Amino acid sequence: MYKTILLKKEPEHKIAWLVLNRPDKMNAINSQLMDEMYRVLQEIEDDKEIWVLIVRGTGEKAFSAGADLTWFEGITPTHARDLASKGHTLFTQIEKLRQPVIAAINGYALGGGCEIALACDFRIAAERAKIGLTEVNLSLLPAGGGTQRLPRIIGIAKAKEAIMFGRRYTAKEALELGLVHKVVPDGSFEEEVRSFALKLASQSPIAVKLAKQCINQGTQVPLDVGLELEAQAFGTLFSTKDIFEGIAAFLQKRKPKYSGE
Ligand code: COA
């Protein structure tokens, strides 16, 4: 049982929901939430029945308002550095998860909340959401990977403006920036996220996993190394049952039924 995270699995649909659950504190991230999230992610990684993970905040108001600011009162520089490293480990665990991860941004995603979303593969925002790396407004800086992931996602010039001005964007502005993939009406948010997740879960989980790895690793290395990764992944696919199911289904004009093997 977890206190600051709710985990709802729907194995019949191959999806799971990881819900940040500190509603009275706008789902702010504290030590307990980080520890519990780490354990939940490990559980999901090992669960062969789950092919897509959705991360959201409890309630309608916040995805997460970032690091719990009471944490920072009187901490030493060494402790602060350790905290940043712990955040890096956790958010990289999201990024490297076997399954694709959707950030369902149901409300405020500020500071560390935005950084969780940046580590996910997809970001879908409700119209009411407000998103940004606002740490500099408090004389902090994004230390959950934000200074590194945001420029990689939206480009250096736009990331500098977002971070140094501590800009808080509306969902529509975030879409224009390329910070989110999609904005959906508040009233149909859950339905739209679910439909996106189910479509993703109908793909071959092995092809999706390998494509995710190729993109994530390939963008950090020279092109020739990335191409070699891609060739290896392509070879690996031909040791699976699902590739033959995908091709057979196409030839037989039917929908594929993947097993994840
Ligand atoms: N850390 C700790 N507590 C937080 C928090 C955070 N990051 N964000 C919100 N809370 C708490 C508030 O202190 C308040 O607690 P209280 O009821 O005990 O006083 C509760 O959550 C509700 O927040 P409140 O500010 O009253 O709600 P609001 O609707 O007026 O504003 C936000 C919502 C998200 C705009 C506002 O809370 C905010 O700006 N939070 C900080 C965001 C931020 O700077 N994050 C970066 C952190 S590095």
pLDDT value of position 225? 98
For ligand 1, mutation pick of 26, 70, 108 (most atoms within 8 Å of CB): 26
Residue 115 annotated in active site: yes
Cα(28) to centroid(ligand 1), Å: 8
Average pLDDT of the residues in 25-43: 97
In whole angstroms, what is the distance from residue 99 CA to residue 16 CA?
Answer: 10
Q: Is 144 in the pocket of ligand 1 (CB under 6 A)?
A: no
State residue 107 phi and psi, 5-degree precision. -170, -145
Nearest atom (ligand 1) to Cα of 68? 1
Answer yes or no: 135 catalytic.
yes
- Ligand 1 atom showing the smallest separation from residue 110 Cα: 45
Domains defined for the chain, CATH in brackets: 5-201 (3.90.226.10), 205-251 (1.10.12.10)
Percent of the chain residues past pLDDT 90, beyond the cut: 99
Catalytic residue chosen out of the listed positions 43, 135, 228, 230? 135
CA distance 110 to 131: 6
User: pLDDT tens-digit profile of 58-82?
Assistant: 999 999 999 999 999 999 999 999 9
The verdict on the CB of residue 26 being under 6 Å from ligand 1 is yes
Is a pLDDT exceeding 90 seen at residue 12?
yes
Residue 242 has pLDDT above 90, yes or no: yes
Residue 139, ligand 1, Cβ within 6 A = no
| Average pLDDT of the residues in 240-248 | 95
The helix, strand and coil proportions of the chain, stated in percent and rounded to the nearest 5, come to 50, 15, 30
pLDDT band at 232 (very low <50, low <70, confident <90, very high): very high
- In tens, the pLDDT along 85-117 reads 999 999 999 999 999 999 999 999 999 999 999
Spacing, Cα 65 to ligand 1 middle (Å): 6
Confidence (pLDDT) at 255: 94
pLDDT over threshold 90, residue 219? yes
Integer CA distances (angstroms), 47 to 14, 59, 261, in order: 10, 26, 14
Query: Do the beta carbons of residue 96 and residue 48 sit within 8 Å?
Result: no
Residue 1 confidence (pLDDT) above 90: no
